[in-house]
């Protein structure tokens, strides 16, 4: 379960400078990828509903239906191209109407009831267009039962699908997963009301991280208030520390100041919103979006490839499940061997810092003696790594079996369970200890923007390089150039490294 990240790693990075564009965060909002996915699903729903409606009307099997449809003998001999054109037109009308009603916007922008009402409106509007088209092309011979059942099934399917998806997202928000971190510029009544609104309506999916004081604000907070993180000059320093996704402006200020903040927000990949009726001209032609009951004007919204990230998660789950099943005899054998080799538990569990500062317990096979942590101070002088990293090739605390497990990276196999739980990915930066993150500079936090991995670019390319700068550089290179193909190449090279026994 996630705990407060900065309580774990303290405030040791408070004096670090602002980041450059090369260390920008990746925002969680992915409206383009999500919209495309919903459009594809809507189209599939239309064609599936039409097939079921035809089966119901004709009382025939799916094979006979497909043959009749293709040969143009199913619906009173209508040619296939006419039937396909009608379905394609209905699908296009449904998608365009849904898009115009903003049904492909992020979940948090609308409520359940509003989304359901708009979904019904989109289905009925596109249904009317379909029936009107049938009238114009004199399609009286096409069964009205098929048309009405198709529209009805599409309406029910889309409404139920959106409801189930929204409820699943709400459950994730309640567990603190997938929420968006927010900073509020201003400390006046509006800012306080917005903060209360975001915290009281959890299904909006926002996590308040603090206020940014602005000179001249009618503030109700004292300068020593723990909720006020700093001034406008430290806005993006605190945004980096708190892994902020969005900044809300709730106080009026000069247009030039907002323009400057907007440029930096674009550089850092952070979304920026202001309340309406502010900054004359700056928000022209920008839509008003409601965050609960608060109207806001988005000045910048980020984009990440959600379809690719979804594919990455599917790949993680499938490969991890296969690995656990195929390697289960090995896991059992190693567990028995550890118990016979030395006293202590089979598994070693430690708190690690994951994506966006989320704390989780990382599982490995135990490779050291039981009191290894207590003896850590005795071997600190043997450290072979530079700076934050800690590594000893011939660590006297490692057991005889542990050396073999580390050589072939067998000790890391239980981390596939972390992948299945969603705490880790198969490929990504290695999860650091809280004590290591405590020593990070502000720019080093870039590696916490993604899920940590069982393996990664550093593991296959720079594992023997003692330089901490190389360690960070490779992780950032992976994040900046990530793709599914890169993950597959790293997995392939990892297999070679493991078989060669060059692990440690």
What are the tens digits of pLDDT across the range 106-146? 766 667 888 888 899 999 998 898 888 877 776 666 667 77
- pLDDT for 282 equals 56
- Residue 108's region, left for phi above 0, alpha for psi from -120 to 50, else beta, is alpha
Q: Say which residues have a Cβ less than 8 Å from residue 390's Cβ, sequence separation at least 6.
A: 380, 383, 436
What crossing angle do the helices spanning 31-58 and 306-326 adopt, rounded to 10°?
A: 70
Q: Which of 311, 290, 366 is nearest to 334 (CA)?
A: 366
Tokens of 65: 């239906």
Q: Is residue 368 part of a domain?
A: yes
Write out pLDDT tens, residues 435-447.
Answer: 888 888 888 888 8
Tokens of 268: 């850092």
For residues 381 and 462, state if they share a domain.
yes
- Residue 292's region, left for phi above 0, alpha for psi from -120 to 50, else beta, is left
SS3 of 448-474: HCCCCEEECHHHHHCCCCCCHHHHHHH
For residues 36 and 155, state if they share a domain.
yes
- pLDDT for 393 equals 67
Boundary (domain end) residue, out of 274, 303, 332:
303
Q: Is residue 25 part of a domain?
A: no
For residues 126 and 260, state if they share a domain.
no
For residues 80 and 115, state if they share a domain.
yes
Write out pLDDT tens, residues 30-49.
Answer: 455 677 888 888 888 888 88
For residues 354 and 441, state if they share a domain.
yes
The answer to whether the beta carbons of residues 286 and 297 sit under 8 Å apart is: yes
Q: Which of 313, 355, 358 is nearest to 8 (CA)?
A: 358
For residues 147 and 262, state if they share a domain.
no
Q: Residue 474 — φ and ψ, nearest 5°?
A: -70, -40
Residues 115, 101: Cα–Cα separation, whole Å: 9
pTM of the model: 0.61
| Confidence tier at 347 by pLDDT (50, 70, 90) | very high
- pLDDT for 413 equals 93
Residues 29, 180: Cα–Cα separation, whole Å: 9
Q: For residues 457-474, give the mean pLDDT.
A: 73
Boundary (domain end) residue, out of 303, 337, 353:
303
Task: Write the DSSP symbol of residue 421.
Answer: H
Residue with tokens 């919204």: 301
For residues 265 and 328, state if they share a domain.
no
- pLDDT for 147 equals 81
Residues 47, 30: Cα–Cα separation, whole Å: 27
Q: Is residue 5 part of a domain?
A: no
The answer to whether the beta carbons of residues 414 and 349 sit under 8 Å apart is: no
Residues 188, 202: Cα–Cα separation, whole Å: 22
For residues 117 and 50, state if they share a domain.
yes
Tokens of 36: 């495309």
For residue 291, pLDDT over 90 is answered with no
More confident site: 215 or 362: 362
- pLDDT for 194 equals 85
Q: Is residue 4 part of a domain?
A: no
For residues 104 and 184, state if they share a domain.
no
Boundary (domain end) residue, out of 122, 140, 173:
173
- pLDDT for 388 equals 63
Q: What dihedral angle (degrees, nearest 10) is formed by the CA atoms of 100, 103, 104, 109?
A: 110
CATH number at residue 212: 3.40.50.720
Q: Is residue 12 part of a domain?
A: no
Q: Is residue 146 part of a domain?
A: yes
Write out pLDDT tens, residues 313-329.
Answer: 999 999 999 999 999 99
- Residue 150's region, left for phi above 0, alpha for psi from -120 to 50, else beta, is alpha
Residues 439, 370: Cα–Cα separation, whole Å: 27
Q: Is residue 377 part of a domain?
A: yes
For residues 297 and 313, state if they share a domain.
no
Biggest alpha carbon–alpha carbon distance for the chain? 89
Quote the percentage of the chain above a pLDDT of 90: 20
> 89 lies in which domain range?
31-173
Q: Say which residues have a Cβ less than 8 Å from residue 488's Cβ, sequence separation at least 6.
A: none
| Confidence tier at 13 by pLDDT (50, 70, 90) | very low
Question: Which sign, positive or negative, has the C-alpha torsion 428, 429, 433, 434?
Answer: negative
In three-state secondary structure terms, 336 is helix
For residue 462, pLDDT over 70 is answered with no
Q: Residue 348 — φ and ψ, nearest 5°?
A: -115, 120
For residues 51 and 182, state if they share a domain.
no
The answer to whether the beta carbons of residues 445 and 242 sit under 8 Å apart is: no
For residue 71, pLDDT over 70 is answered with no
Whole-number average pLDDT of the chain: 78
Write out pLDDT tens, residues 157-203.
Answer: 999 999 998 888 888 888 778 888 999 998 888 788 888 888 887 77
Write out pLDDT tens, residues 356-384.
Answer: 888 999 999 998 888 777 777 667 666 66
For residue 73, pLDDT over 60 is answered with no
Residue with tokens 């004709």: 58
- pLDDT for 140 equals 60
Q: Structurally, how many domains does the chain consist of?
A: 3
More confident site: 275 or 396: 396
Q: Is residue 7 part of a domain?
A: no
For residues 337 and 288, state if they share a domain.
no
The answer to whether the beta carbons of residues 191 and 219 sit under 8 Å apart is: no
């Amino acid at each position: 379960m996630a705990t407060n990240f900065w309580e774990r790693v303290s405030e040791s990075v408070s004096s670090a400078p602002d980041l450059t564009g090369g260390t920008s965060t990746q925002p969680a909002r992915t409206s383009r990828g999500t919209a495309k996915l919903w459009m594809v699903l809507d189209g599939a729903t239309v064609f599936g509903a039409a097939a079921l409606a035809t089966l119901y009307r004709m009382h025939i099997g799916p094979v006979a239906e497909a043959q009749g449809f293709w040969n143009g003998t199913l619906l009173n001999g209508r040619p296939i191209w006419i039937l396909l054109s009608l379905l394609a037109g209905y699908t296009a009308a449904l998608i365009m109407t849904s898009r115009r009603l903003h049904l492909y916007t992020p979940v948090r922008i609308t409520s359940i009831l509003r989304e359901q009402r708009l979904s019904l409106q989109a289905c009925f509007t596109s249904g009317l267009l379909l029936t009107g088209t049938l009238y114009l092309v004199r399609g009286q011979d096409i069964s009205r039962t098929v048309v009405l059942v198709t529209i009805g099934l599409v309406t029910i399917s889309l409404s139920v699908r959106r409801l189930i998806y929204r409820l699943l997202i709400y459950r994730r928000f309640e567990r603190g997963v997938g929420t968006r971190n927010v900073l509020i510029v201003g400390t006046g009544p509006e800012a306080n009301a917005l903060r209360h609104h975001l915290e009281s309506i959890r299904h909006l999916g926002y996590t308040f991280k603090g206020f940014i004081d602005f000179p001249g604000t009618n503030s109700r907070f004292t300068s020593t208030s723990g909720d006020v993180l700093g001034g406008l000059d430290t806005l993006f320093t605190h945004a980096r520390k708190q892994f902020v996704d969005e900044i809300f402006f709730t106080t009026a200020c000069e247009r030039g100041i907002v323009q400057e903040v907007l440029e930096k927000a674009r550089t850092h990949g952070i979304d920026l919103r202001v309340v309406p009726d502010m900054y004359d001209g700056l928000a022209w032609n920008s839509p008003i979006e409601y965050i609960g009951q608060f109207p806001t004007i988005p000045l910048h919204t980020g984009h990440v490839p959600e379809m690719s990230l979804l594919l990455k998660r599917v790949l993680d789950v499938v490969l991890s499940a296969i690995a656990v099943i195929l390697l289960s005899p090995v896991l059992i054998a190693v567990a028995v061997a550890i118990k016979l080799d030395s006293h202590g538990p089979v598994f070693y569990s430690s708190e690690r810092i994951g994506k966006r500062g989320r704390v989780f317990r990382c599982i490995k096979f135990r490779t050291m003696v039981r009191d290894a942590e207590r003896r850590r101070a005795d071997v600190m002088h043997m450290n072979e790594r530079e700076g934050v990293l800690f590594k000893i090739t011939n660590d006297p605390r490692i057991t005889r079996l542990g050396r073999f497990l580390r050589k072939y990276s067998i000790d890391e196999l239980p981390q596939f369970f972390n992948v299945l739980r969603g705490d880790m990915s198969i490929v990504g930066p290695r999860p650091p200890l809280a004590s290591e993150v405590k020593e990070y500079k502000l720019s080093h936090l870039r590696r916490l923007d993604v899920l940590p991995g069982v393996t990664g670019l550093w593991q296959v390319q720079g594992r023997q390089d003692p330089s901490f700068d190389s360690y960070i550089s490779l992780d950032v290179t992976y994040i900046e150039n990530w793709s599914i193909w890169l993950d597959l190449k790293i997995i392939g090279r990892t297999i070679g490294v493991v078989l060669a026994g060059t692990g440690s």
